[in-house]
Chain A
Amino acid sequence: MAPRRAREREMLVDSLYSVIALVFVLVACVELCDAATVVDVYRLIQYDMSGTPFGSRLASLNHHAGSMQFSPHADLSRAVLMIPLRELNMTFIKEYIAQRKPLGGLLLLLPQLFSFENRDCTGSNNQNHGKDQLKNVLEELEQILIHTNLPYPVYFAFEDDDVNSVLTDIKKNDATGQPATATTGGYKFVVSAPEPKRVSSPTITNIQGWLAGTKTDDDASQVPTIAIVASYDTFGAAPALSVGSDSNGSGVVALLEIARLFSLLYSNPKTRGRYNLLFGLTSGGPYNYNGTQKWLRSFDQRLRESVDYAICLNSIGSWENELLIHVSKPPENAYIKQIFEGFSSVAEELGFKVSLKHKKINISNSRVAWEHEQFSRLRVTAATISGLSTAPQLLERTGGLVDSRHFVNETAITRTVKLIAEGLARHIYVAPFLPKDDPFVLALKKELEDHTDEVNLQREVLDGMFTFYDSTRAMLNIYQVASVTFDLLLLLVLGSYLIVLFSFLVITTRGLDDLISLFRRPPSRKVKTA
């Protein structure tokens, strides 16, 4: 009987072991994520320019949180600094980056007004001044960040109630200098994003639309073309946030509006103009207008020769009184004169000024400052209409974080559209067709579908100096954690509780002697056998 019982017991123990092993396997598999707060965060851009790395090189994050009020001897290499934009200390950042001090990560909090979901544009005078200040700070910060190589993750997030309460908690903790306890809350930031990979062969897409003009019977030669071009690409500190409302959202909006106006006219054969209209939305704007170059190269020779002139639109959303036409051919050129005179007369009627700026192209320099330069390099007359007076530097004013809808002046865009539409119309149509007053142009503005005869897409590969990396958007999990000491303390308390319970039960059920005898058994036995 006994051996059988022993064998049974053995089998039971064995099966128990396998169950325990299974449980441990389950332990390893189950993943948890229940955080106190989950926030959408957007990563700083990561790119290589001609092989040199820039931007934030890491994506995943798993560190304790700290704020600007950290104690001087705190070790920040394993901490994530959480800095709201309003309290940003620019000298601190510059110093930190210049000296390449180690940091676990950086989380920058942007005020809600930069959020693209925030449609509230109104504000008092005071607020506007504050907004401008913030805008300048952010612009400066953006320029610093995209031109530096940062070996730690940098994320942007928008302020909201949860995030603000977490920040105040962290500041309180740091101020007291105490290590985080269970109740006051130490916070841990976790972003589990995959390792950023290169985007192999980033594609740029150019979109073109075509409105055919009428051939007049006595005109044996080909119908000439006028091209209207705008680039729609942006480059900013946070790719997921680069809205680029002014650079070049304003240009794109204007182009679409002009296309709509002329499509109305061109849909009726009687009001069709003598020119073909070619609308182009090009990509690769921040990268020396690479897309425009490819688009032009893909043109048929005849098409290219038939283009009388091209008008490029760039940043027409934030000018006040003066719009500039940038050209690369000298102002004495007949075409340029024609364009300029046409536009300036319209501008006079509309009540603002248009001036001409000439900038020569330097063929040896690969840097393309304005879009029209790509046209000029291929012998097509072109001009850029812009609110900017000087060409932006490489990667400057390319529609970054700052370029949000609030800072765009809508009347500026409308006036530009009026200017271009009027000017083109006067050029395209002989006088009887188009009365010279505004109400006609205004009456054309109705809600209609965009209507062109042919719409083509052209996909090209972006070549040259830029390499991009993905992983731009992630979710930040904020956990409130207790320190190790708390767990150890708890273990101690529980251990003593169980011991007390044990002794209590032994005493009450078996008597005090039994408890003592638990510890004294060996000696008493020896005594007995002796």
Chain B
Amino acid sequence: MTVFHFFNCAILTFGPHAVYYSATPLSEYDTLGTSVKAAVVYLATALVKLVCLATFLKVSESDSFDPYQEFLKALIGFIDVAGLYFALTQLTHRNISQNHKFQAVGLGWAFADSVLHRLAPLWVGARGLEFTWDYILQGLEANANLVLSISLAALGSLMWLRKNKPKTLIPIIYICAGIVATMPSITSYLKRGLGWHFPKVVGFELFTSLVMAFTSWQLFAACQRPSV
């Protein structure tokens, strides 16, 4: 029965990625290769981030929110953005439209993130007899992360791949991208500084991800129209 629970949580965590891939035109255009490449780039970025964190960060005993450390972590978080940039621009993709490119990259990114961060705890923890809500909440977080990654990829593609953008929208694009990129720091501040419990944090993440997705969709649609 506990394997059952593991199975449930695994579906919750990884199911949406598969569903996204099969539901959208991504499957029709066979963009799996792009996603895989994006996942590999994510792995490399994660390694680089790990090394930087180990070098520059001090281990603090207390669980409080230390602004300096968090700022450092946010800076290192921007390596994420650099990795995404690399995946979007430098990798050679087959001839797929920009529309689908960012989706594929975002999907691969989010999938790698979920596997790396959530698979191991799920495997070890959810199969035990003891029941906790943690793994279900983790799955919800993975969903939010998927949406956020895709919106970040969309904004990234807007920033770097599209050459003609309406001038007014550019700052908004950058602001949104900035917010999405610093989401990890924001959540850790909420957890540590304000002391929110895990369900609340997950709820917040889901909400913001939906909002950001909507905003980036609107921005993307706005940029599709030929600039005046």
What residues of B have a CB within 8 angstroms of the CB of A33 in the complex?
Answer: 128
Interface residue? B199 (CB, 8 A): no
What residues of B have a CB within 8 angstroms of the CB of A477 in the complex?
Answer: 129
Bound: A481/B125 CA distance, A: 13
Interface residue? A188 (CB, 8 A): yes
Proximity bits, B142-181, A CB within 8 Å = 1, else 0: 0000000000000000000000000000000000000000
Q: B26's closest neighbor in chain A, by CB? A: A509
Interface residue? B1 (CB, 8 A): yes
B16-48 CB contacts (< 8 Å) to partner A: 16, 19-20, 22-25
What residues of B have a CB within 8 angstroms of the CB of A498 in the complex?
Answer: 11, 15-16, 19
Bound: A32/B128 CA distance, A: 6
Interface residue? A506 (CB, 8 A): yes
What residues of A have a CB within 8 angstroms of the CB of B136 in the complex?
Answer: 490
- Docked-complex contact B8 and A487, CB < 8 angstroms: yes
Among A482, A484, A487, A494, the residue within 8 A (CB) of B12 is A494
Interface residue? B5 (CB, 8 A): yes
Interface residue? A510 (CB, 8 A): yes
What residues of A have a CB within 8 angstroms of the CB of B22 in the complex?
Answer: 502
What residues of B have a CB within 8 angstroms of the CB of A34 in the complex?
Answer: 125, 128, 130
Interface residue? B127 (CB, 8 A): yes
Among B4, B20, B24, B133, the residue within 8 A (CB) of A487 is B4
What residues of B have a CB within 8 angstroms of the CB of A482 in the complex?
Answer: 5, 131
Interface residue? A455 (CB, 8 A): no
Classify chain A: how many residues form its interface, as a range.
20 to 34
Least CB distance from A367 to B in Å reads 49
What residues of B have a CB within 8 angstroms of the CB of A490 in the complex?
Answer: 5, 8, 136
Q: A188's closest neighbor in chain B, by CB? A: B129
Interface residue? B54 (CB, 8 A): no
Bound: A497/B5 CA distance, A: 17
Interface residue? B59 (CB, 8 A): no
- Docked-complex contact B129 and A190, CB < 8 angstroms: yes
A292-323 CB contacts (< 8 Å) to partner B: none
Bound: A482/B7 CA distance, A: 15
What residues of B have a CB within 8 angstroms of the CB of A506 in the complex?
Answer: 23-24
Interface residue? B228 (CB, 8 A): no
Interface residue? B124 (CB, 8 A): yes
What residues of A have a CB within 8 angstroms of the CB of B129 in the complex?
Answer: 32, 35, 188, 190, 477, 479, 481
Interface residue? A11 (CB, 8 A): no
Interface residue? A49 (CB, 8 A): no
Bound: A506/B4 CA distance, A: 29
- Docked-complex contact B130 and A479, CB < 8 angstroms: yes
Chain A CB count within 10 A is highest, among B5, B19, B22, B128, for: B19
- Docked-complex contact A505 and B20, CB < 8 angstroms: yes
Bound: A480/B5 CA distance, A: 14
Bound: A502/B19 CA distance, A: 6
Proximity bits, A181-202, B CB within 8 Å = 1, else 0: 0100000101000000000000
What residues of A have a CB within 8 angstroms of the CB of B130 in the complex?
Answer: 34-36, 479-481
What residues of B have a CB within 8 angstroms of the CB of A487 in the complex?
Answer: 1, 4-5, 8
Least CB distance from A374 to B in Å reads 53
Among A27, A481, A484, A509, the residue within 8 A (CB) of B23 is A509
A481 with B131, Cβ < 8 A, contacts A498-B11, A509-B24, A510-B25 known: yes
- Docked-complex contact B19 and A501, CB < 8 angstroms: yes
What residues of B have a CB within 8 angstroms of the CB of A378 in the complex?
Answer: none
What residues of A have a CB within 8 angstroms of the CB of B19 in the complex?
Answer: 498, 501-502, 505
What residues of A have a CB within 8 angstroms of the CB of B7 in the complex?
Answer: 491
Q: A23's closest neighbor in chain B, by CB? A: B123
Bound: A504/B143 CA distance, A: 15
A460-519 CB contacts (< 8 Å) to partner B: 477, 479-482, 484, 487, 490-491, 494, 497-498, 501-506, 509-510
Least CB distance from B122 to A in Å reads 12
Among B15, B20, B24, B131, the residue within 8 A (CB) of A480 is B131
Q: A35's closest neighbor in chain B, by CB? A: B130
Q: A487's closest neighbor in chain B, by CB? A: B4
What residues of A have a CB within 8 angstroms of the CB of B20 in the complex?
Answer: 501, 505
A173-219 CB contacts (< 8 Å) to partner B: 182, 188, 190
Bound: A490/B15 CA distance, A: 14
Bound: A30/B122 CA distance, A: 13
- Docked-complex contact B24 and A505, CB < 8 angstroms: yes
Q: B18's closest neighbor in chain A, by CB? A: A498
Bound: A491/B5 CA distance, A: 9
Bound: A27/B20 CA distance, A: 28
Q: B21's closest neighbor in chain A, by CB? A: A505
- Docked-complex contact B11 and A494, CB < 8 angstroms: yes
Q: A33's closest neighbor in chain B, by CB? A: B128
Bound: A349/B106 CA distance, A: 97
Proximity bits, A2-35, B CB within 8 Å = 1, else 0: 0000000000000000000000000100101111
- Docked-complex contact B8 and A494, CB < 8 angstroms: yes
Q: A507's closest neighbor in chain B, by CB? A: B23
Q: B28's closest neighbor in chain A, by CB? A: A510
Q: A182-B133, A487-B8, A501-B16 are in contact. List 13 more A-B contacts (CB 8 A).
A: A30-B124, A32-B128, A34-B130, A477-B129, A479-B129, A481-B130, A491-B4, A498-B11, A498-B15, A498-B19, A501-B19, A501-B20, A505-B24
Sampled A-B contacts (11; CB under 8 Å): A32-B124, A34-B128, A190-B129, A487-B1, A487-B4, A494-B8, A494-B15, A498-B11, A501-B19, A501-B23, A509-B25
